[in-house]
Amino acid sequence: MVNPVVTRTETSGEVSLKTPLLFAETSMGMNVGGRSSRFLRILTGVAMRCWAIAGAAVLTCLLLYWAYGGLLAFMLLCFATTGILYHTEDNLLFHPELPAHSRVFVPVPSMFGLPYENIFVHSGDGTMLHLFYIRQQPANVAANAPTIIFLHGNAGNMGHRLQNTLGLYQNLQCNILMLEYRGYGLSQGSPSEEGLCMDARAALDYLASRQDVNHKEIILFGRSLGGAVAIDVASRPEYSSKIWCVVLENTFTSIPDMAKVLIGWRLVNYLPLCFYKNKFLSASKISCLERPTLFISGLADTLVPPRMMTELHRCCSSHHKQLLQFESGTHNETWTISGYYHAFANFLRDVRMRSTLPESPPSQVKPV
């Protein structure tokens, strides 16, 4: 309690009390201080709530980034990787530079004593293609002999297959048109799935334009990648009618199937087809192939699994098809196995005989 302070005013002799004034000033100070502290507490409470909400939001964002941002980053990484692979697939599949100087030097048939014509034709898109046409002698024999369109594999040039061509020429008594795909050997352009198939169609059109060719007996032969090209051409109705028969050697069901075999990553099994620039879906196309077809499979092939040849034989719609298996045949050298040309010749003889007889059930040659 505050003791009253008494003051005297000598001029008037009056006495006044200052206690009420002092009390009023003290009460006012207490009220102002209370309001300030309440305001500070409210402000602090609001700040704490904002801090808590902001902290929760930041934590939520971090959790969402960890859960979804990491997934998004992983998906972007996969997309970028597949994009790079998509644009480098041509380099993984096509090897026109192997062995060295394959784009500069092409061995010619005369090195093996084979008479030939050096030919340049335009493909469907104007690309200049290089071909060898090897003819039987004399000219009247060549005009009646069957003609093989030789579609080679994914490396080197057509000149690297001349020793095999010599065996076909001598043992089958046939003419041989050797095609050098775009981007290979002396042909212009760059290889691609559509480009190679277009080139094979151009070779068939070229033969159809010649008057000195037996158009009733044109054989489409494809080894490895060339087999996929042959299947594409022979499965097209407008070109199937120009083909007498088809011979496929150590080829594959599709590029996606080969990727699963060669790469071995489990992720490859789940990649959609749109991630493959070159597909060569032979297993689905061959269901439209109705010409007589011989399947030559080397069971010692360590590149293309022989089961793929068995699958292609099963899916083929031809009423005259044979599967010829060589136990010791490898991917590129099956043609060196004893009995290869004999079996090839027997198939052609069988096709020629069946063309004059009613259709008979499909046959399969036992392993050699």
Q: How confident is the model at residue 265 (pLDDT cuts 50, 70, 90)?
A: confident
Cis peptide before 358 (omega within 30 of 0): no
User: What mean pLDDT do residues 8-33 have?
Assistant: 46
pLDDT score, position 57: 72
pTM, to two decimals: 0.78
The number of residues making up the chain comes to 368
Q: How far is CA 111 from CA 116, 174, 235, in A?
A: 11, 19, 35
SS3 108: coil
Q: How confident is the model at residue 366 (pLDDT cuts 50, 70, 90)?
A: low
- Does residue 161 carry a pLDDT above 70? yes
Q: 177: which strand partners?
A: 133, 149
pLDDT digits (tens, 9 = 90+) for 298-346: 999 999 999 999 999 999 999 999 999 999 999 999 999 999 999 999 9
Return the ∠ at Cα 340 (arms to 336 and 342), rounded to 5°. 135
pLDDT score, position 274: 82
pLDDT score, position 268: 73
CB 91, CB 147: distance < 8 Å = no
Q: Helices 225-234 and 193-209: crossing angle, nearest 10°?
A: 60
CB 121, CB 202: distance < 8 Å = yes
CB 250, CB 304: distance < 8 Å = yes
Return the ∠ at Cα 238 (arms to 237 and 244), rounded to 5°. 75
- Dist CA 368 CA 348 (whole Å): 18
**Which residues are marked as active site?**
224, 301, 331
pLDDT digits (tens, 9 = 90+) for 279-297: 999 999 999 999 999 999 9
pLDDT score, position 186: 97
Q: How confident is the model at residue 105 (pLDDT cuts 50, 70, 90)?
A: very high
User: What mean pLDDT do residues 159-164 have?
Assistant: 97
pLDDT score, position 39: 65
CB 214, CB 147: distance < 8 Å = yes
Strands 6-8 and 15-17: antiparallel
User: What mean pLDDT do residues 204-219 have?
Assistant: 97
- Could you give all domains of the chain from N- to C-terminal order, each with its CATH number? 109-354 (3.40.50.1820)
Phi and psi dihedrals of 152, rounded to 5? -85, 180
Q: Is 336 left (phi over 0), alpha (psi -120 to 50) or beta?
A: alpha
pLDDT digits (tens, 9 = 90+) for 60-72: 766 766 666 667 7
pLDDT score, position 175: 98
Q: Which residues contact 217 (CB under 8 A, 6 or more apart)?
A: 145, 146, 147, 244, 352
Torsion of CA 300, 303, 307, 310, to 10 degrees: -90
